[in-house]
Amino acid sequence: MAPSFLENIFAQSQAVAQAFVSAAPTREFVVAVLVPEKEYLLRRLAEAESAPIESYLALN
């Protein structure tokens, strides 16, 4: 499977700001580094905790 295929799948998520996938043909595994979309995740956390979003955005 091509790393770019997985990168595109990850990039479709609102929770992911950046994705990097590496796969070497000599290895049996794939490595992915994902950078979260901070504001999206903070909004979801606020919703889950029934807290005002401002309390989480102040953490910037």
Please report the pLDDT score of residue 54 as a whole number. 75
Domain that holds residue 37: 3-57
Enumerate the β-bridge partners of residue 21: 32
Long-range contact pairs involving 5-10 (C-beta distance under 8 Å, separation at least 24): 6/30, 6/32, 10/34
Q: Would you say the pTM of this structure is higher than 0.85?
A: no
Please report the pLDDT score of residue 27 as a whole number. 87
Please report the pLDDT score of residue 24 as a whole number. 87
Residue ranges for the chain with pLDDT beneath 70: 56-60
Number of domains present in the structure of the chain: 1
**Helices then strands (H, E): number in the chain?**
3, 2
> What is the distance between the terminal CA atoms of the chain, rounded to a whole angstrom?
37
User: pLDDT digits over 24-33, tens only?
Assistant: 889 889 999 9
